[in-house]
Amino acid sequence: EQQQQQQRRRRRLQGATPNPLPWSDAAPPPAGEGSARRPGHGSGSSAAGGVPAPASPDVLLNIQEIISENCVVIFSKTTCYYCKMAKKLFDDMNVNYTAVELDMNTNGSQFQDILHQMTGARTLPRVFVNGTFVGGATDTKKLHEEGKLLPLVHQCQFQKQ
């Protein structure tokens, strides 16, 4: 049984082709829904056997809309340490962001499945700046330390004026 689980896991990994752009022409990923302003963190579960359920086009469109309409979006869970770290980073820079708290959303697991397809990982947070996936908390912090994060934010804020 353990060998079968490993084979299934390998098949899933081999079949996973991340989409860096949420609005690409590729087949839509799995679904989820819900957004809140500021604070959040999380994890989610997939359909039986760890294989994501087919994505609802409405959920995918909802995610794309959230990302395109906001300069900074953090897909998060309220109890996640790294999610809190990412939100604190933007708080400390006095940058407004939209936090989508997946654990407060009935479709949070579907959101996380779609984000997995879009970004290549299910871990949270998933941080988007100016419509582009920049990584998780550690990646985002590193961009800030290198002086690359704030210019991305300012570029978006300037475009939205």
Q: What is the CATH number of the domain that holds 94?
A: 3.40.30.10
Q: What's the CA gap between 8 and 31, in Å, rounded?
A: 21
Q: Is residue 91 part of a domain?
A: yes
pLDDT of residue 129: 97
Q: Is residue 32 part of a domain?
A: yes
Q: Is residue 80 part of a domain?
A: yes
Task: State how beta strands 126-129 and 98-101 pair.
Answer: unpaired
Q: Is residue 8 part of a domain?
A: no
Q: Is residue 154 part of a domain?
A: yes
Q: Is residue 2 part of a domain?
A: no
Q: What's the CA gap between 16 and 114, in Å, rounded?
A: 11
pLDDT of residue 52: 53
pLDDT of residue 33: 35
pLDDT of residue 57: 81
Q: What's the CA gap between 22 and 59, in Å, rounded?
A: 12
Q: Is residue 122 part of a domain?
A: yes
Q: What is the dihedral of CA 143, 144, 148, 151, to 10 degrees?
A: 140
105 token code pair: 């959303």
The series of mean pLDDT values per 10 residues for the chain, 161 residues long, is 44 33 35 37 37 70 95 97 98 96 94 96 97 97 97 86 69
The number of distinct structural domains making up the chain is 1
Residue 49 sits in which domain range? 23-160
Q: Is residue 17 part of a domain?
A: no
Listed in sequence order, the residues at least 6 apart from 84 whose beta carbon sits closer than 8 Å to its beta carbon are 39, 41
pLDDT of residue 53: 55
